[in-house]
């Protein structure tokens, strides 16, 4: 007797639901959403106080005191605006709180860099986080992404680069620093 009651109750529910009788769904169709029943949002794997499109915060920089060589290299670097190929620009400025470090701005990116004098006389500005490298030589500068292995901008000209191009003098090094004498 029990199976008959369950069967009759199920048949009664099917017959009394007007949406099912009036509009039968085609085969393979998704069931219609019921009115009044709110679907729960999918779970999020991020903290509730941080929007989804904002990157995680970058930890603050801890910069070591600059060595004497680093301070000398910082004095030789070209500070100011650079006009680069394809209408791009780079700006190099002294770091506001750490002597011997520089800030390089390209587009919306601001990077703190450590000046290093190379054996060829070029000044290398090395990103303290290890991503970018700016190379300053006598006739131009370039900004490179070392992780991707490509140049971001090339042919960057500072006013001192233009002065060098207007009055080229024979130099024994490729860079802006005087050659080392032993």
Range picked from 23-32, 117-126, 160-169 for highest mean pLDDT: 117-126
In a domain? residue 146? yes
Would residue 113 count as lying in a domain? Answer: yes
pLDDT digits (tens, 9 = 90+) for 135-152: 998 889 999 999 999 999
Rounded to the nearest angstrom, the gap between the alpha carbon of residue 130 and the centroid of all alpha carbons in its chain is 13
Q: Say how far apart CA 136 and CA 69 lie, in whole Å.
A: 17
CATH code assigned at 84: 2.40.128.50
Structurally, how many domains does the chain consist of? 1
Q: Which domain holds residue 133?
A: 68-166
On whether residue 129 sits in a domain, the answer given is yes
Element (H, E) at 94: strand 89-94
Domain-embedded: residue 152: yes
Residue 40 has pLDDT above 90, yes or no: no
- Residue 8 main-chain phi, psi, to 5 deg: -65, -40
> Is 51 a domain residue?
no
| Global pTM value | 0.60
Sheet holding 102-106, edge to edge: 80-83, 89-94, 102-106, 109-117, 123-127, 132-136, 141-145, 150-156
pLDDT(52) > 70: no
Tens digit of each residue's pLDDT (9 = 90 or more) over 122-134: 999 999 999 999 9
Residue 32 or 52, more confident: 52
């Amino acid at each position: 007797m029990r199976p008959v009651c369950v069967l009759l109750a199920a048949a009664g529910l099917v017959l009394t639901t007007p949406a099912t009788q009036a509009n039968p769904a085609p085969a393979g169709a998704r069931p219609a959403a019921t009115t009044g029943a709110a679907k729960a949002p999918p779970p999020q794997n991020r903290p509730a106080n941080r929007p989804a499109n904002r990157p995680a915060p970058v930890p603050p920089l801890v910069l070591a005191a600059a060595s004497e060589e680093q301070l000398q290299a910082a004095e030789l670097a070209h500070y100011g605006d650079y006009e680069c190929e394809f209408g791009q620009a780079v700006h190099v400025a002294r770091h506001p709180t750490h002597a011997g470090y520089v800030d390089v701005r390209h587009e919306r990116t601001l990077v703190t860099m450590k000046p290093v004098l190379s054996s060829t006389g070029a000044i290398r500005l090395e990103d303290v986080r290890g991503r970018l490298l700016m190379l300053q030589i006598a006739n131009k500068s370039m900004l490179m992404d070392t992780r991707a292995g490509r140049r971001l901008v090339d042919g960057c000209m500072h006013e001192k680069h233009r002065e060098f191009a207007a009055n080229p003098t024979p130099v024994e090094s490729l860079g802006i620093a005087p050659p080392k004498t032993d």
